[in-house]
């Protein structure tokens, strides 16, 4: 029994725009359209061998802790995309949240204590209800054809709590006891345990895919040996190349395989 777990195959990450680059995804990952072409081919070529497909969908409000509109400095300026904000920046009021400052303090304290990825401001992306949040058409078409065999694909929403970043498939970067959707999705982890192979694909290799792997290592290390990371279906966010090398190295040490789509028998 095989499951294909696709991380965030959405327009804002995957759509390169038209021939003039018009309409490009808000957080387009260079090479993502070629990655998704190979993934679509993989789905078409393995219709009978893929027993289940789960798809994470990054989903944000405009006022999100990782978006510009959430923040201001003393002069009313917004942080530029790709600005990194630290706990010290918040404490010193270099950057000030416009919403629930106590919750924001708690987020940054936990984030840095847990040694998670540094907090980054992104271009507004995958806004709830937007075209950018939709599944990239070649992948949607492939999943639709697969579904017409009488199968159901499983959407997994993430990122909807605006006071925590949420990269990985299984939990937000920071969990809050009073916000269940930020906590570890033990039901989905248990579900993965029913499959002999977990094919992993999607965007971006440096962030959401890498943190999905990291969370499996942290929360279900016994499942890592079932993991087949389809390396030619993912690319790094520009400027973050090789950012997650240590995570993938650790996964291989625990038994994960890293393969290209055309190497899967």
pLDDT of residue 155: 98
Question: CA 165 to CA 65: how far, in whole Å?
Answer: 7
Whether residue 36 is found in the same domain as residue 72: no
Whether residue 184 is found in the same domain as residue 204: yes
Positions of the chain with pLDDT under 50: none
How many domains would you assign to the chain?
2
Q: How far is CA 1 from CA 6, 100, 220, in A?
A: 16, 45, 19
Whether residue 176 is found in the same domain as residue 259: yes
Whether residue 105 is found in the same domain as residue 173: no
pLDDT of residue 143: 98
Backbone dihedral angles phi then psi of residue 4, each to the nearest 5 degrees:
-105, 115
Report the percentage of the chain scoring pLDDT > 90.
Answer: 97
Of the candidates 32, 29, 53, the one whose C-alpha atom is nearest the C-alpha of residue 43 is 53
Whether the predicted model's global pTM rises above the 0.75 cut: yes
pLDDT of residue 171: 98
What residues make up the domain containing 168? 2-61+126-263
Helix or strand (DSSP H, E) at 154: strand 154-158
Whether residue 210 is found in the same domain as residue 104: no
Whether residue 48 is found in the same domain as residue 146: yes
Whether residue 106 is found in the same domain as residue 224: no
Whether residue 152 is found in the same domain as residue 235: yes
Whether residue 150 is found in the same domain as residue 181: yes
Whether residue 170 is found in the same domain as residue 41: yes
3-state secondary structure of 120: strand
Whether residue 212 is found in the same domain as residue 93: no
Provide the CATH number for the domain around residue 33. 3.40.50.850
Residues 92-143 pLDDT 10s: 999 999 999 999 999 999 999 998 999 999 999 999 999 999 999 999 999 9
pLDDT of residue 256: 98
3-state secondary structure of 63: coil
- Non-local (6+) Cβ contacts of 104 within 8 A are 65, 90, 97, 163
Whether residue 188 is found in the same domain as residue 217: yes
């Amino acid at each position: 029994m095989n499951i294909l777990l696709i991380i965030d195959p959405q327009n804002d990450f995957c759509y390169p725009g038209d021939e003039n680059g018009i309409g490009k995804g808000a957080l387009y990952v260079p090479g993502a359209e070629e990655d998704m072409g190979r993934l679509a081919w993989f789905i078409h070529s393995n219709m009978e061998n893929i027993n289940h497909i789960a798809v994470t969908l990054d989903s944000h409000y405009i006022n999100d802790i990782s978006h510009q509109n959430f923040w201001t400095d003393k002069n009313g300026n917004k942080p530029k995309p790709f600005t990194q904000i630290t706990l010290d920046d918040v404490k010193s009021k270099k950057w000030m949240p416009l919403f629930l400052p106590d919750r924001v303090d708690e987020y940054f304290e936990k984030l840095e204590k847990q040694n998670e990825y540094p907090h980054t401001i992104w271009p507004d992306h995958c806004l709830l209800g937007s075209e950018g949040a939709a599944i990239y058409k070649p992948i949607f078409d492939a999943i639709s054809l697969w579904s017409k065999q009488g199968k159901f694909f499983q959407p997994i929403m993430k990122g909807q709590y605006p006071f925590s970043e949420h990269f990985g498939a299984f939990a937000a970067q920071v969990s809050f006891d009073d916000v269940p959707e930020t906590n570890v999705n033990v039901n989905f982890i248990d579900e993965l345990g029913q499959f002999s192979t977990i094919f992993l694909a999607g965007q971006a290799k440096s962030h959401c895919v890498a943190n999905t792997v990291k969370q499996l290592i942290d929360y279900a290390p016994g499942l890592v040996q079932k993991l087949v990371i389809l390396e030619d279906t993912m690319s790094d966010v520009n400027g973050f190349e090789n950012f997650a090398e240590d995570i993938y190295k650790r996964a291989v040490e625990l038994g994960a395989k890293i393969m290209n789509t055309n190497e899967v028998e």
